[in-house]
Structure 1
Amino acid sequence: MTLPPVRFTADEAAALTVALAGVGAGAPYAGAARTAAQKIAASITGPASTAARELAARIVTLPSPGDRGVRSAVESALSANTALRLSYLDAGGRASVRVVEPAGLLTAEGRWYLIAWCRTRRAGRGFRLDRIATAQPLAEQAEPRDLAALLRGSAATSAVRPATLDALAPAP
């Protein structure tokens, strides 16, 4: 994809810098965020470039462990709308193997969750990405699932799409 020349204000460049810096290695699409940041940095000129580079020099993060294989499998399944076989460790330390149909991602309090239809439980479930030991993509197509419907009745019932993504929302 190509974009026409885009001019960012210094504040917009700073916002992009901070937002992309917050994408840790264990976050979904972290690799794509890194390459997008490189492309954005290459396209910013003038005062916006200076502001973004100065701010970037003052941002540090603590590395978070993240299994790239799990993250890649989740990203692939979401994009292709296919099922996944997960080896999962719940909050109590109990291991299970589940086949799930991914519906979306949820971020809360610095953690990422895969929201999916669990074929084992025959219900919507949230799976913390850092608790997924392995994720194997399956060739089976997943049923289209309504993310909001899967969240209803859970602690994440009030979850909303971040306003920054409104421009990417499907047209009504």
Structure 2
Amino acid sequence: MNRTDRLYALVEELRAVAPRPRSARRLAEQFEVSTRTIERDLSALQQAGVPIWAEPGRTGGYCIDTSHTLAPLALTVDEALTVTIALGMLSTSPFHTAATSARRKVVAVMDQSTLHETAELASRIHLLDDGPVPDAPPELAGALRSGNVLRIAYRDRGGADTRRDVEPLGYVGKGRDWYLIGWCRLRDGIRAFRGDRVISADATGERAPRRSLRAEDLDIAYGTLRSVSTG
């Protein structure tokens, strides 16, 4: 059994016996590896975000929260490379911090052979841009999920600064530029705010009213919108 399969099996074993704990010694015997190997595997799963914790005491061991777990990913080299490229392309987006964290979690559940081959291939792939992009305020990344009205300071292309209350509706990415799409209360309409022109953003704590957003509402003069889907 390779490491990726063992990580998957460890999660499934802990899920099967939950909420009872399993000792590292018993898991090591079951998977025919050393206790130290099991402890390294469990540490990798914890670092990847799997909710595993140790119960102390003579009858203790490792437990898992079955309501918040997914099995670790078993990726082929091509799949791992694709994920690496996709996450790397988000480095200039409002989601760059989450993308970096996600990449670490993917690496944590890859076996060493796949990881080594993926890293070697990824070293040959480069992204060409026009230089560094100023970081957007971190509040932009969670704006859609939180549903809070944002109070932003925004600098337009002419250099004029305004303060606006914005109801987040979505995001549009074009090359290295990312835009927050929102209902602007100052302009009483839908507007696009480029991330690197948002000087500051603060959640007001007010829940934004639910509004629909259609592609035609964006009034895009060129290019074709392509939806990002998990399906």
State the TM-score, normalizing by the size of structure 2.
0.62
Q: Give how far 1:73 is off.
A: 1.4
Mapped to 2, the partners of 1:86 and 1:114 lie a distance apart of 11
Q: Percent identity?
A: 35
Contact 2:155/2:162 (<8 A) preserved = yes
Contact 1:84/1:99 (<8 A) preserved = yes
**Alignment equivalent of 2:169, drawn from 96, 99, 103:** 103
**Alignment equivalent of 1:122, drawn from 180, 188, 199:** 188
Q: Give how far 1:113 is off.
A: 0.1
Contact 2:152/2:163 (<8 A) preserved = yes
Q: Deviations over 1:106-158 (max 9, x none)?
A: 10122000000001111100000000111111011111222325734333784
Query: What is the aligned partner in structure 1 of residue 135 from structure 2?
Result: 66
Aligned residues: 161
Say which SS state the counterpart of residue 166 (structure 1) adopts: coil
Superposed, 1:15-164 pairs within 5 Å as 15-24=82-91, 26-45=92-111, 47-59=113-125, 63-67=132-136, 70=137, 72-148=138-214, 151-155=217-221, 158-162=224-228
Mapped to 1, the partners of 2:174 and 2:217 lie a distance apart of 13
- Cα pair distance change 1:93/1:150, threshold 3 Å: farther
Q: Give how far 1:95 is off.
A: 1.2
Q: Give how far 1:50 is off.
A: 2.5
Q: Give how far 1:87 is off.
A: 0.8
Query: What is the aligned partner in structure 2 of residue 170 from structure 1?
Result: none
Contact 1:81/1:102 (<8 A) preserved = yes
Mapped to 1, the partners of 2:224 and 2:90 lie a distance apart of 23
Q: Which structure: larger Rg?
A: 2
Query: More relative contact order in 1 or in 2 (CA 8 Å, sep 6+)?
Result: 1
C-alpha RMSD of the superposition: 2.3
Aligned residue identity for 2:153: S
Q: Extract unaligned runs of 5+ from structure 1.
A: 168-172
State the TM-score, normalizing by the size of structure 1.
0.82
Mapped to 2, the partners of 1:50 and 1:146 lie a distance apart of 45
Q: Give how far 1:16 is off.
A: 0.9
